[in-house]
Chains A and B, each alone.
Chain A
Amino acid sequence: MASVTYRNVIKKFGEVYAVNNLNIEIADKEFLVLVGPSGCGKTTALRCLAGLEEVTSGEVLIGDQVVNDVPPKDRDIAMVFQSYALYPHMSVFDNMAFGLKLRKVPKDEIKRRVEEAAQILGIEHLLKRKPRELSGGQRQRVAVGRAIVREPKVFLFDEPLSNLDAKLRVQTRAEISKLHQRLQTTFIYVTHDQTEAMTMATRIAVMNKGILQQLDTPQNLYDTPGNLFVAGFIGSPSMNFFPAKLEKADSKLVVKADGFSVNIPDDRAQPYYPLVGKEIIFGIRPEDIHNPTFLPPGIHASNVEAKVDVTELMGNEIFLYLVSGKDSYIARVDPRTRFAIGDKVQVAFNMDKFHIFDPSVDRENPPAVR
């Protein structure tokens, strides 16, 4: 058990920055998920911690020790690879025991630990088999088992669920969370799937183009994304964005988009006065757009006229693909809604839950203004 620290870590491949000045402090026993689109540097960051890549500059610490020059075998970490990387010529037992044998653990101790891990993962009956005789899910368990028998200070997971089918992925997700509860060890988990990140992490680090975008708990990340990238990446379907202009009319702040204008409630208006007259990006999540008929009580709603483009019934909710002016966007509405394609309808924006981003600060990835 140990904390992990990235201090000004830079990793360059040639002239490309794979990881650009990464600073994260991961507490002991934390479950940190590194998430981002492919090529964002999350796996490289993990491999730097494992010792499989050398950092170009900066420091990686496990506990209080700088491990930049420590070879992987001496870092006391265990890693589950995306392809599982089971040794094909060894039985499941030998796969799990390999790391212990290398550490000269006594034979009966190895047997005890492997059997215990196998029992936790429900693979006791597979110990004699070779990896090629296992299904994808079983291989994944063996890979996890190989990591846990070692009882390392830190567990690293590199997209361990991406080769499983959807149902197994959901089930294994919960099992990994349980494993974290049980082992009480630091977990660092890389994924491109924001659902995995949201469901398992104690904290999430969102990365893009090698740069850490935001590091926070899942709930905070969802409620108060720091910039446009995070806002768009976290949540499914993702947040709707509208290029708009902020105006002042009759002492009220009004967001004027191409197809609608909505009022900002007075209690939230304060931070936005400096933006009056400027171009902004207005963001609102699909679930904060309601059918006015089924409006939740006590919210500041602002009605918007829209044309229904497509409807998708999900059972417990309906996805409406709406068009207002030049902008198209998605709403998740009450399943009792009866809108038909082509209808001109009124939808209600929940103005307690909007986000405003200021492109004048950074055109590529505008920060949120609060």
Chain B
Amino acid sequence: MQASFAPKERSGGVVGWFVTNIGRILISVFVPFVTFLVLWRGFIFLRDSQAPQLVIVVVAIIWGVGGVALLYLASNWVIEQLPQAWTRRLQPFVFVGPAIAILFWYLAIPTIRTLLLSFQDETSTTFTGIENYVFALTDRVMLEAFRNNLLWMIVGTFFCVSLGLLIAVLADRSRFETIYKAIIFMPMAISFVGAGVIWKFIYTYKGEGTGIAEIGLLNAIVLALGGKSQPWLLIPPWNNLFLIVIMIWLQTGYAMVIISSAIKGIQSELLEAARVDGANEIRIFFSIIIPSIKGTLITVTTTILIFSLKLFDIVRVMTGGNNGTNVIANEFYLQRFTYGHTGRASAIAIILLIAVIPIMVYNLRQFRERKAF
């Protein structure tokens, strides 16, 4: 199969090359198209049936899985009846092609559509040039969102990764490693919205006045220490940091687990050699452990960076982006679903996409260097 990618294959002339690729595209589109038809017919048939539910479920599974499998087998058989040279050229596309075609349908087409919409007005009827982009890059609300996202990326990522690293290294030397790690990792199982609700209780502020009791955990601590209760989520710019703490709480576990497994992968003789060579533990950490897990650190950092760039849920649930806590993704949501300005929302989405690309590319390059692909 690999031979079809070799340059020799293409020497069949321009016509051959053209026919080959047309064939590949046709196969890639034809197979998922027929799949869809088969599934759709099955859906219609079962929807109108009066059979007991269990039978419908079983038939649906057999129809769905069996139908698709049969389709692949049949297409593969057809391709194998062609002359051998053609089989070799086309066969990979029976299997890879549909996946690429569907991916194109669900990813590339929406992206292109979003790009088009971003140059149109709020009703998506007339082209307005780069007006939406001018808005997205100059509006006061947007600039605040950019600033906050930068804060999320720098502070959030820094603490997630460094705390994760610190805990991973320290836990590695502890007898209770699994217990510590389980506790730190646990918040990972909570959704961002769920975490938002939990932390809302922690930051709750009831205000001053007679008969009002503070129920928030943080204010309870402040009051117990003799302080004055604070409206934590209403004081810019600190409220941003209070929100970032939630992400740190959620994501440190992720960083820790990945880094911890990388640390465990370091050969113990390497650390012993450094010890014999005369290094103290701090030197070993910086000269041996950090370089050994560099790749993992970069992966974790970029993953959390992308995460904080497209952060949405926490802000949406906790403050709705008010009081100077707005972020790009939340503004996008507001523009699209609250203000109904599709053009501006699309422009913001495109900007977010462009901002993610460099990190993504760097991440992929790292993977390639480590031969992860």
Interface, chain A (partner B; CB < 8 A): 50-52, 71-75, 77-79, 81-83, 85-90, 98-99, 102-103, 146, 150
Cβ–Cβ contact B277 & A77, under 8 A: no
Within 8 A of A (CB), among B231-275: 267, 269-270, 272-275
> A102, B283: Cβ atoms under 8 Å?
yes
- Docked Cα-Cα span, A103 to B280, in Å, equals 11
CB <8 Å contact, B288 and A52: no
Shortest distance between the CB of B175 and any CB in chain A (Å): 15
Minimum CB–CB distance for B278 against chain A, Å: 4
Contacts of B273 in A (CB 8 A): 79, 81, 85-87, 146
Indicate the member of A78, A86, A87, A146 with the most B CB atoms within 10 Å.
Answer: A87
Query: Does B110 lie at the interface of the complex (its beta carbon under 8 Å from any beta carbon of A)?
Result: no
- Cβ–Cβ contact A73 & B276, under 8 A: yes
B279 and A89 within 8 A (CB): no
Q: Are A102 and B267 in contact (CB under 8 A)?
A: no
User: A79-B273, A87-B274, A88-B292 in contact; A73/B280 too (CB < 8 A)?
Assistant: yes
Chain A hits for B16, CB < 8 A: none
User: Chain B interface mostly helix, strand, loop or mixed?
Assistant: helix
The complex places the Cα of A99 from the Cα of B279 at a distance, in Å, of 8
Question: What residues of chain B lie closer than 8 Å to A74, measured between beta carbons?
Answer: 278
Contact A50 B279 (CB under 8 A): no
Q: Show 10 residue pairs from A and B whose CB-CB distance is below 8 angstroms, ordered by the A residue.
A: A50-B272, A51-B276, A72-B272, A73-B276, A75-B276, A77-B276, A87-B274, A87-B291, A90-B291, A146-B273
For the complex, give the distance between the alpha carbons of A255 and B270 in Å: 55
Q: Give the residues in chain B near A86, CB-CB below 8 Å.
A: 273
Chain B residues in contact with chain A, CB under 8 A?
A: 267, 269-270, 272-280, 283, 287-288, 291-292, 294
Q: Is the CB of A81 within 8 A of B274?
A: no
Query: Which interface residue of B269, B283, B291 has the most chain A CB atoms within 10 A?
Result: B269
- With A88-B292, A89-B291, A89-B292 in contact, do A98 and B274 touch (Cβ < 8 Å)? yes
Residues of B within 8 A of A82 (CB): 269
State whether B277 touches A102 (Cβ < 8 A): yes
Contact call A81/B269, Cβ cutoff below 8 A: yes
Cross-chain contact B278 with A85 (CB below 8 angstroms): no
* A87 with B278, Cβ < 8 A, contacts A79-B273, A81-B269 known: no
In the complex, the answer to whether B288 meets A87 with C-beta atoms within 8 Å is yes
Given contact pairs A73-B280, A85-B267, A52 touches B274 in the complex (Cβ within 8 A): no
Residues on B with beta carbons closer than 8 Å to the beta carbon of A85: 267, 269-270, 272-273
Among A52, A75, A103, A150, point to the contact of B272 (Cβ < 8 A). Answer: A52
Please, how many angstroms separate the alpha-carbon atoms of A75 and B272 in the complex? 13
The smallest C-beta distance from A14 to any residue of chain B, in angstroms, reads 15
Contact A146 B272 (CB under 8 A): no
Most interface-central of A81, A85, A146, A150 (chain B CB within 10 A): A85
User: Which 9 A-B pairs rank lowest in CB-CB distance, beginning with the nearest?
Assistant: A99-B277, A85-B273, A85-B269, A89-B291, A73-B278, A102-B278, A72-B275, A79-B276, A81-B269
Known: A73-B276, A82-B269, A85-B270; 7 extra A-B contacts, CB below 8 A, are: A50-B272, A79-B273, A87-B288, A87-B291, A88-B270, A98-B277, A102-B283
A102 touches B270 (CB 8 A): no
A81 to chain B: closest residue by CB: B269
Cross-chain contact A150 with B277 (CB below 8 angstroms): yes
Instruction: List chain B residues, Cβ under 8 A from A52.
Output: 272, 275-276
How many Å from the CB of A150 to the closest CB on chain B? 7
Inter-chain CA distance A67–B99, complex, in Å, is 65
Whole-angstrom CA separation of A71 from B267 in the bound complex = 20
Taking CB as reference atom, which chain A residue is nearest B288? A87
**Chain A residue contacts of B272, Cβ below 8 A:** 50, 52, 72, 79, 81, 85
Q: For A102, give its contact among B269, B279, B294 (CB under 8 Å).
A: B279
Q: Which residues of B contact A71 (CB under 8 A)?
A: 275
Q: Which residues of A contact B287 (CB under 8 A)?
A: 87, 98
Task: State the CA gap A276–B168 with chains docked (Å).
Answer: 68
Q: How many angstroms between the C-alpha atoms of A73 and B275 in the bound complex?
A: 6
- Name the CB-closest residue of B to A94: B287
Chain A hits for B276, CB < 8 A: 50-52, 72-73, 75, 77-79
A85 CA to B283 CA, complexed, in Å: 17
CA distance in complex: A236, B285 (Å): 46
Q: How long is the Cα–Cα vector from A82 to B288 in the complex, in angstroms?
A: 19
Bound form: Cα–Cα A79–B273 in Å: 7
A130 to chain B minimum Cβ distance, whole angstroms, is: 12
A233–B213 CA distance with the chains assembled, in angstroms: 82
Alpha-carbon gap, A90 to B269, bound state (A): 16
Q: How far is the CA of A313 from the CA of B292 in the complex (A)?
A: 51
| One of A83, A90, A103 near B278 (C-beta < 8 A) | A103
CB pair B292 A99 closer than 8 Å: no
Nearest CB of chain A from residue B293's CB, rounded to whole Å: 10
Residues of chain B contacted by A146 (CB below 8 angstroms): 273, 277
Distance, CA A87 to CA B274, complexed state (A):
9
Q: Which residue of B lies closest to A88 (CB)?
A: B292
| Residues in A whose Cβ lies below 8 Å from that of B274 | 87, 98
Expressed in whole angstroms, the Cα–Cα distance for A102 and B274 within the complex equals 10
Nearest Cβ distance between residue B100 and chain A, in whole angstroms? 35
Determine the chain A residues whose CB is within 8 A of the CB of B280 once the complex forms: 73
State how many angstroms separate the Cβ of B302 from the closest Cβ of chain A: 20
**Closest chain B CB from A214 CB (angstroms):** 29
Give Cα A349 to B269, complex, Å: 49
Chain B residues closer than 8 Å to A79, beta-carbon distance: 272-273, 276
A residues in contact with B277, CB < 8 Å: 73, 78, 98-99, 102, 146, 150
Known: A79-B273, A85-B273. A99 touches B291 (CB 8 A): no
CA distance A79 to B279 in the complex (A): 14
Nearest CB of chain B from residue A189's CB, rounded to whole Å: 15
Q: Complex Cα distance A233/B156, Å?
A: 62
CB distance from A288 to the nearest CB of B (A): 42
B280's nearest neighbour on chain A, judged by CB, is A73
Min CB distance, B370 to chain A, in Å? 12
Among B270, B275, B294, contact of A87 (Cβ-Cβ < 8 Å): B270
Tell me, in angstroms, the Cα distance from A90 to B272 when the chains sit together.
16
Residues in chain A near residue B279, CB distance under 8 A:
73, 98, 102
A71 vs B279: C-alpha distance when bound (angstroms): 10
Q: Nearest chain-A residue to B279 (Cβ)?
A: A102
Shortest beta-carbon distance from A134 to chain B in Å: 16
B308 → chain A, closest Cβ, in Å? 29
Shortest beta-carbon distance, B129 to chain A, in Å? 51
